[in-house]
Amino acid sequence: MNAYSLSRLFIAWLTCLATLLFAPLLPAVEAEKAPPAAAEDNTLSIHIDDMLRPWRGDLPGMIDRRTIRVLTTYSKTFFFIDKGTQRGATHDIFIALENELNKQLAKDKKLKQRHLKLHIVFVPVSRDNLFIALNEGKGDIAAANLTITPSREAQVDFAQPLYSNVKELLISGPASPKVDSLEQLSGQTVFVRRSSSYYDSLQALNARFAGESRPPVILEAAPEALEDEDLLEMLNAGLIPLIVVDQHKALFWKQVFPKIQVHDNVVLRDGGDIAWAVRKDSPQLLTVLNNFVKKNRQGTTLGNTLLLRYLKNAKYVKNAAASKERRKFLAMVDVFRKYGDRYDVDWLLMAAQGYQESRLNQSVRSHVGAIGVMQVMPSTGKELKVGDIKQLDPNIHAGVKYMRWMMDRYYADEPMTRLDKALFTFAYYNAGPARITRLRTMTKQRGFDPNVWFGNVENMAAEKIGAETVTYVSNIYKYYITYRLIVDDMARKQKATAVPRQEPVAQPAKPQPSVATAATAQVPVI
């Protein structure tokens, strides 16, 4: 296959992949244009800059902020969105960590109110930005099935390994050349992300080949936006020649992509360790992670549960694209978009609220009579004149219209940031205008800012009315940030397909750990 054909096929494939995975959630091109400055303050939306603003403290500061930010990558194994729900091995184990930390903080009375919680927020980035963002303070932990390497240890500190004895193996597909040994890789082309540990392993092999006067492996640079499963899918379709992947991932995805071949005898790295990373100035956070990993790594109850859930049985992957529920979800996305555009409301924000209200389930009825995805009361639906709220379209219409009305009535002229206008509107939606107005007055009387939700009116809400509204607002905020970052990342992936061809990576020969062989195949948790 020549380079031009490969480029065209790659562009077509990647565009198709983005469409299948998340295209229904991508904004239209017109929607990417910035709104006029004069209209910006009237848009019901949330800027995610506050969450990503550089901050480099240790665990005590995170407790004060009540947020730990986990930098990860969007992956169909470790962190993904399934009909609006965050899932994956990385997601699930960090939720377990969040629960454990909150129990300990409550026991030690380190939070201001018993109804306040520390939240773990997932921040999806590309792989080449994981350590950059971590050291810039845009996240607090990097967790993306990361293999410990000397070059990475120079940049960050790693927690105790979640998994050890990891093998990196050669994987071929229907269009691949015949390769049965490391030596036969000489002169062959391998598609690889430069930021990956696989790249280091291939560089080590090329250093060895140079000493043996053999031609090097030709390293074709894979886009950093692509995960291993994306490359495996390309390989299965015959679009690329060869790749290197961790053994556990290759064996899992072979259940989905039957045309790939896992070469157990062509081992690029053996004895690797997979772990989470933190900044070098976070010793207290590192201690907490080490203690948690000891109790929850592979071989423990939680570790084995996640292994079975995400890295053994591929049924959830095989059924995802074709399921009836997914088709329903994609239809729902169109409705959120339609009314988001009509009322100048960020549709992803409304989707996040819908997920918090009902898990995006139109059949849900509350004990007080609230109906559908947006949990609209019949009396409210009647006043809004949107039609039968028992039907999906009018139900979402009612929720979006009501949010727009509340913001315009109560917050249009308030001296608040866009973020706080959105947060207070959600609080009103959940607890009612009169109650939140009283809480703002009480917050001001205590000398705190009545125009700021987090750490101000939120604290008063936790004290006076309990956890429900506090949790409601915090969850929507977390869901929205994740949705927005994933959608933005997928939009960048689509734009990246316009690049005609990735140039081969330069081949500097740098010393690496020796290439090892042979170990028992096992599967990591994260």
Q: Higher model confidence: residue 25 or residue 482? A: 482
* Model pLDDT, residue 135: 96
State the DSSP code for 345.
B
Q: How far is CA 489 from CA 83, 225, 340, 494, in A?
A: 18, 8, 21, 9
Q: Which CATH class, in words, describes the domain spanning 324-483?
A: mainly alpha
What span, in angstroms and rounded, lies between the C-alpha atoms of 255 and 37?
51
Closest CA to 427 of 448, 446, 454: 454
C-beta of residue 105 within 8 angstroms of C-beta of residue 63: yes
Q: Output Rg (C-alpha) for the chain, integer angstroms.
A: 25
Give the fold, CATH level 3, of 47-162+275-320.
Answer: D-Maltodextrin-Binding Protein; domain 2 (3.40.190)
Tally DSSP H helices, then E strands, for the chain. Answer: 21, 11
pLDDT digits (tens, 9 = 90+) for 85-127: 788 889 999 999 999 999 999 888 877 666 778 899 998 888 8
What span, in angstroms and rounded, lies between the C-alpha atoms of 367 and 97?
32
Q: How confident is the model at residue 412 (pLDDT cuts 50, 70, 90)?
A: confident
* Model pLDDT, residue 107: 86
**Residue 267 token pair:** 């081992």
Closest CA to 70 of 22, 162, 133: 133
Give the fold, CATH level 3, of 3-11+164-271.
Answer: D-Maltodextrin-Binding Protein; domain 2 (3.40.190)
Q: Is the pLDDT of residue 523 over 60?
A: no
Evaluated on CA atoms 484, 490, 491, 492, the torsion sign reads positive
Q: How confident is the model at residue 227 (pLDDT cuts 50, 70, 90)?
A: confident
Q: Which of 158-167, 252-261, 338-347, 506-515 has the lowest mean pLDDT?
A: 506-515
SS3 of 3-37: HHHHHHHHHHHHHHHHHHHCHHHCCCHHHHCCCCH
pTM of the model: 0.60
Give the three-class secondary structure for 99: helix
What span, in angstroms and rounded, lies between the C-alpha atoms of 465 and 479?
23
Domain extents for the chain?
Answer: 3-11+164-271, 47-162+275-320, 324-483
pLDDT digits (tens, 9 = 90+) for 255-284: 888 899 999 999 999 999 999 999 999 999
Q: Higher model confidence: residue 5 or residue 395? A: 395
Give me the mean pLDDT over the 152-163 stretch: 95
What span, in angstroms and rounded, lies between the C-alpha atoms of 379 and 370?
10
User: Do the domains 47-162+275-320 and 3-11+164-271 match in fold?
Assistant: yes
